[in-house]
């Protein structure tokens, strides 16, 4: 029954995120908000909404392993699996801003998590914890990044379409309410069923969060990026993944820690290091080969790295 509830939870969660984006973007367009602003705020928020609502619910319930595992697991999934698949479909050309700001910022975000989760080593603390102050620091980084992104977008010449729906104001509001309800209900179903599955199988919430939960919440990013690459919009595919990873740490982990401090166990540092490795690999690949691009052979390395990571989790399931 828990597995069925988990599947239903993901379906409701993704449905909720979709309806929230459709309703919000339609309502924003009615009030004359520029398309690029809608894309960078509402659409970007929509792809990260599954992780956000699951983490909010997990934070309120003090399921800290679910909080950290979902964020870090999603980031690893995004880089190693999604970008690996995208690079196999079509080599990914990297824009200048993505090369020199967004990818290094994603790497910085991973390093920052390592720093704030090492209180015992750095401050001789009694426990490793991502505190509310740490959460505020992460949110400050997010605000700086978001303001910068908005300014770059508004000063550019992009007229990119984000598939804004055209509904009446009433229908838009109803979709927003339905989307929020779907996110809350779906998030609650996922967290409760995932915790129950972990207990029944005798494995940690961390493993469930790093595998099943993080994969499910990353489905919007997977769908968006694969479709974009097939349409030759490689900038959207890469920007979607890197932007999502920055959102996940600065925004989602920041809010989660602000709601409830996140206690970090020794085993959590494994995925924190793997996340740093994945982002470093991405940064390295951009400068290898011909020009600033991620080639198919590099995509294969991403996928092979993800397979090794999953096998490691399976054979260390007791951790």
Cβ atoms of 58 and 256 within 8 Å: the answer is yes
Cβ atoms of 219 and 14 within 8 Å: the answer is yes
Domains detected in the chain: 2-315 (1.20.1420.30)
Q: State the residue for tokens 């598939």.
A: 163
Strand, helix or coil for residue 80 = helix
* Percentage of residues in the chain having pLDDT higher than 90: 41
Strand, helix or coil for residue 263 = strand
What's residue 238's pLDDT? 81
Residue among 241, 257, 11, 312 nearest 138 (CA): 257
What's residue 202's pLDDT? 85
Average pLDDT over the chain, rounded to an integer: 85
Structure tokens belonging to residue 270? 């494994």
What's residue 159's pLDDT? 45
Q: What is the largest CA-CA distance in the chain?
A: 58
Interatomic CA distance for residues 309 and 306, integer angstroms: 5
Confidence of residue 38 (pLDDT cuts 50, 70, 90): low
Interatomic CA distance for residues 136 and 129, integer angstroms: 14
Interatomic CA distance for residues 201 and 186, integer angstroms: 22
Confidence of residue 252 (pLDDT cuts 50, 70, 90): very high
Q: What is the pTM of this model?
A: 0.86
Residue 45 has pLDDT above 80, yes or no: no
Confidence of residue 199 (pLDDT cuts 50, 70, 90): confident
Higher pLDDT, 87 or 315: 87
Higher pLDDT, 69 or 124: 69
Confidence of residue 174 (pLDDT cuts 50, 70, 90): very high
Residue 15 has pLDDT above 50, yes or no: yes
């Amino acid at each position: 029954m828990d597995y069925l509830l988990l599947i239903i939870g993901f379906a409701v969660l993704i449905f909720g995120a979709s309806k929230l984006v459709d309703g919000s973007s339609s309502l924003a367009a009615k009030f004359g908000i520029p398309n690029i602003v809608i894309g960078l705020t509402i659409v970007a928020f929509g792809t990260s909404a599954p992780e956000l609502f699951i983490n909010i619910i997990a934070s309120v319930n003090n399921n800290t392993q679910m909080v950290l595992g979902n964020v870090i697991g999603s980031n690893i999934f995004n880089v190693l699996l999604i970008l690996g698949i995208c690079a196999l479909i079509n080599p990914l050309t990297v824009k200048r801003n993505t090369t020199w700001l967004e990818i290094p910022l994603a790497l910085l975000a991973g390093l920052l998590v390592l720093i704030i989760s090492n209180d015992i080593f750095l401050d001789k603390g009694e426990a490793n914890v991502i505190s509310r102050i740490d959460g505020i620091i992460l949110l400050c980084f997010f605000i700086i990044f978001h303001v910068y992104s908005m300014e770059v977008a508004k000063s550019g010449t992009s007229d990119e379409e984000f598939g804004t729906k055209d509904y009446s104001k009433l229908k838009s509001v109803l979709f927003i309410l339905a989307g929020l309800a779907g996110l809350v209900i779906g998030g609650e179903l996922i967290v409760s069923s995932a915790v129950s599955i972990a207990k029944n199988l005798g494995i940690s919430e961390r493993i469930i969060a790093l595998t099943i939960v993080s994969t499910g919440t990353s489905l919007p990013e997977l769908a968006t990026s694969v479709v974009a690459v097939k349409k030759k919009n490689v900038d959207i595919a890469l920007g979607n993944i890197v932007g999502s990873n920055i959102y996940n740490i600065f925004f989602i982990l920041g809010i989660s820690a602000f709601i409830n401090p996140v206690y970090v166990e020794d085993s959590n540092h494994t995925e924190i290091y793997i996340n740093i490795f994945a982002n470093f690999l991405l940064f390295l690949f951009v400068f290898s080969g011909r020009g600033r691009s991620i080639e198919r052979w590099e995509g294969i390395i991403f996928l092979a790295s993800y397979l090794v990571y999953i096998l490691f989790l399976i054979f260390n399931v007791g951790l």
